[in-house]
């Protein structure tokens, strides 16, 4: 349970950092919102960095242990970097399968 809360915290922290550093996407005068695709990559880099720094390995928590621990950290970083909503969806799905 503590690990799940930690993963949610990291995902939410990264999402908050992105919004704080780069701000909300604002519509132009024509009403269109400019796509900022580079933020996905910034989020992924921060997510992988956080997963490596805190040694978060989500696949190992689910019983999928890799021969290379870095693989688990990178996969976990991708999940964390995607955001709190994505992590929430995955854990809801895993809990539903376990019941």
pLDDT digits (tens, 9 = 90+) for 1-28: 577 788 888 888 887 888 788 877 676 6
- The pLDDT, as a whole number, for residue 91 is 64
- Residue pair 87/7 in contact (Cβ under 8 Å)? The answer is yes
Q: Give yes or no for a contact between 79 and 3, defined as CB atoms under 8 angstroms apart.
A: no
pTM of the model: 0.73
**pLDDT tens across 47-83, in order?**
999 999 999 999 998 899 989 989 999 999 998 888 7
């Amino acid at each position: 349970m503590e690990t799940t809360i930690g993963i949610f915290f990291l995902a939410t922290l990264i999402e908050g950092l992105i919004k704080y550093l780069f701000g909300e996407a604002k519509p132009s005068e024509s009403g269109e919102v400019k796509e900022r695709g580079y933020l996905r990559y910034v989020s992924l880099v921060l997510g992988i960095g956080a997963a490596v720094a805190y040694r978060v390995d989500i696949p190992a928590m689910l019983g999928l242990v890799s021969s290379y621990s870095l693989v688990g950290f990178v996969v976990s970083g991708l999940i964390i970097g995607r955001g709190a909503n994505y992590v929430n969806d995955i854990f809801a799905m895993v809990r539903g399968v376990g019941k």
